[in-house]
């Protein structure tokens, strides 16, 4: 149980385009989902926290207009990188937790490369 | 404020040798502590966690960690390394009652296992 999936696992796009990444909790209802960004050989940096049905809370320094997060249902959250630039290239990881849980379940990550 | 320090960005051991990955934390309230493993281009997998109770925690793949409050440490050990243990390991901390978004990660330790 407690499986989180991400789609796509890898995406390459041209500069200026938008990319949508999906995060799904497959066998549980995720009241809260988190989006992280990981640069090569570095740790995870929390970008934002999203609760189902409400606006995401962004960490300081994260542009909410550039990284659009939607958590429309208890099993799906999406991260859209708008007008992507090469500096947005990174590994994006989502995680999810239930209302009662204190453990985050992580997705497998999405490798974004912007040319 | 909470923080996590992982001593040694890279640890190399021989197959069959003891694995010791160090983690020290700083927290003004009782912490919840986690160890995660990340294989290349994959998400994080929970190895073990400490919340309350027994301070010696056993996890998957033969790993264990001991919470030592007096030393503010949560070092990860495994008696005998296996080639498949080669990966990146992250220590993380949060606290009871805290938002799961407050999961603070260390910078990670890359474990190499030599044949």
pLDDT digits (tens, 9 = 90+) for B37-78: 999 878 889 999 998 889 999 999 999 999 999 999 999 999
What is the average per-residue pLDDT within A38-62? 87
Closest CA to B3 of B111, B109, B103: B103
Q: Is residue A79 over pLDDT 90?
A: yes
Among chain A residues, the shortest Cα distance to B95 is held by A102
On the 0-12 / 13-18 / 19+ scale of CB atoms within 10 A, B110 is middle
pLDDT band at B97; cut points 50, 70, 90? low
- Residue A52's pLDDT band, with cuts at 50, 70 and 90, is confident
CB neighbours of A58 closer than 8 A, spacing ≥ 6? A47, A48, A64, A67
Q: Which residues of B touch A107 (CB under 8 A)?
A: 43
Q: What tens digit of pLDDT does each residue of A5-34 get?
A: 999 999 999 999 999 999 999 988 888 899
Question: CA A22 to CA A71: how far, in whole Å?
Answer: 10
**pLDDT (0 to 100) of residue B96:** 59
pLDDT at B102: 67
Instruction: Considering only the beta carbons, identify the residue of B43, B94, B101 that sits closest to A109.
Output: B43
Nearest CA in chain A to B101: A49
Distance from CA of A17 to the nearest CA of B (A): 23
- Res A100 pLDDT > 80: no
- Mean pLDDT within B90-110: 78
Alpha helices in chain A (DSSP H): none
Q: Could B101 and A6 be called an inter-chain contact, meaning their C-beta atoms sit closer than 8 Å?
A: no
Best interface-test mutation with A: which of B42, B101, B107 has the largest number of A CBs within 10 A? Answer: B101
What CA–CA distance (Å, rounded) separates A86 from B85? Answer: 33
Of A114, A112, A98, residue with least CA distance to A34:
A98
Residue of B nearest to A96 (CA): B100
φ, ψ for residue A95 (rounded to 5)? -145, 165
Q: How far apart are the CA of B80 and the nearest CA of chain A, in angstroms?
A: 25
């Amino acid at each position: 149980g407690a499986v989180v999936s991400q789609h796509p696992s890898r995406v390459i796009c041209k500069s200026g385009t938008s990319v949508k990444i999906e995060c799904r909790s497959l066998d549980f209802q995720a009241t809260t989902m988190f989006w992280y960004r990981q640069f090569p050989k570095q740790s995870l940096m929390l970008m934002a926290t999203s609760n189902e049905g409400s606006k995401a809370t962004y960490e300081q320094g994260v542009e909410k207009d550039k990284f659009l997060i939607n958590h429309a249902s208890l099993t799906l959250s999406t991260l859209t990188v708008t007008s992507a630039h090469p500096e947005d290239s990174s590994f994006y990881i989502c995680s999810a937790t239930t209302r009662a849980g204190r453990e985050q379940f992580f997705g497998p990550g999405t490798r974004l490369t912007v040319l | 404020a909470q923080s996590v320090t992982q001593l040694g960005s890279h640890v190399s051991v021989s197959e069959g040798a003891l694995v010791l990955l160090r983690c020290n934390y700083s927290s003004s309230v009782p912490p919840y502590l986690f160890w995660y493993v990340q294989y290349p281009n994959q998400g994080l997998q929970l190895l073990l966690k400490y919340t309350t109770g027994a301070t010696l925690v056993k996890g998957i793949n033969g790993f264990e960690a001991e919470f030592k409050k007096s030393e503010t440490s949560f070092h990860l050990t495994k008696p005998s390394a296996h080639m498949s243990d080669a990966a990146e390991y992250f220590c993380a901390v949060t606290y009871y009652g805290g938002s799961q978004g407050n999961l603070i990660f260390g910078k990670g330790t890359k474990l190499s296992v030599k044949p």
